[in-house]
Amino acid sequence: MTTAPRTSPCAGRLPAAGNDHFLGLHDATPVATSAVRTTDMLVKRAIDRKAIVCVHGHVGLGKTFAVNAACRKLAPDTTMWLQFAQGPNLAQIRAALWEALDLPGEAPTNNAHTCDTEIIKALAGSFHLLLLDEMQHLGPTVLEYVRSLWDINYKTTKTLAVVLVGSGNTRQKILHRDALHSRIHRWQQFSPLTPAEVLAAIPTYHRLWADVDDDLLLWIDDRATHGCFRDWANLTVILQDALDDDPNLVFSKDLVRWAFSQLDPTTRFPGQVGFDG
């Protein structure tokens, strides 16, 4: 009998909260933005209704951070977390679900009927929240498979909720699958932080920004970070490393200008970095 290899040592388990912050940024504090609060509500509704919900948006805006935090809070012991770096086939999906459900042995992926029967039975045995991250990598066959698992469960035991998270063409992929699209209960699209949200969130996010003037925060956001939490995290790491390496350095606008030079220039406001606006 041939079996599919284990897909990931983390299949089925949410990543540790300590891995949430980009590059392991020390002293970073989770910030309850309006988007984070919406995600929390969305996941709760998925659990309450045993529904499928979708969280999508551009990279680096905090989707995965918010969804993982909500799942840890609302379904810490029942979340099955699956993430694939490239498009998996059905055998890999079945093997990942088999592992996440803690079924015995290796998944018998050479016998789809037997494998699916056991997966469906395990999903029906108790509540599970299936979290599929980076779902922009999933192909149409896999999306239909996930939809069919939810359909079968909802028509019988109603013990499965699904959260789809992705960037890029996530929404378009779902729109092209009419059956799946019609079953999405709620949607959330992440957007960059507004200037007001930057002023509310960033000083709380990390002590480096706690006493920085509003004008400087907005200047940084306009020139380099553009409301993107990951870009703010990356800039914070660069500045914190510089301050840690040289005790004689102090935080200043000149230091921020230097930090800008470490970033991809194509993401910065053209012709403005290093000059007062």
For every one of its 277 residues, what pLDDT tens digit does the chain have, with 9 covering 90 and above? Answer: 344 444 443 457 888 887 888 888 888 999 999 999 999 999 999 999 999 999 999 999 999 999 999 999 999 999 999 998 888 999 999 999 999 999 999 999 999 999 999 999 999 999 999 999 999 999 999 999 999 999 999 999 999 999 999 998 999 999 999 999 999 999 999 999 999 999 999 999 999 999 999 999 999 999 999 999 999 999 999 999 999 999 999 999 999 999 999 998 877 654 443 333 3
How would CATH label the architecture of 17-190? Answer: 3-Layer(aba) Sandwich (3.40)
Output the six-digit token pair for 30: 């989770």
* pLDDT reported for residue 27: 86
Query: What are the two backbone dihedrals, phi and then psi, of residue 109, each rounded to the nearest 5 degrees?
Result: -70, -10
The strand ranges marked E within 49-182 are 52-57, 79-83, 128-133, 160-166
> For 124-164, what is each residue's pLDDT tens digit?
999 999 999 999 999 999 999 999 999 999 999 999 999 99
Q: Residues 192, 227: contact at Cβ < 8 Å? A: yes
Q: Residues 249, 255: contact at Cβ < 8 Å? A: yes
Round to whole Å and give the CA distance between 65 and 148: 28
* pLDDT reported for residue 217: 98
Q: Residues 7, 88: contact at Cβ < 8 Å? A: yes
- String of DSSP letters for 201-229: HHHHH-GGGTT--HHHHHHHIIIIITT-H
* Domain spans in the chain, listed from the N-terminal domain onward: 17-190, 195-267
> For 36-73, what is each residue's pLDDT tens digit?
999 999 999 999 999 999 999 999 999 999 999 999 99
- Residues contacting residue 95 through CB under 8 Å, at least 6 positions apart: 3, 4, 5, 6, 7, 106, 107, 109
Output the six-digit token pair for 57: 């948006």
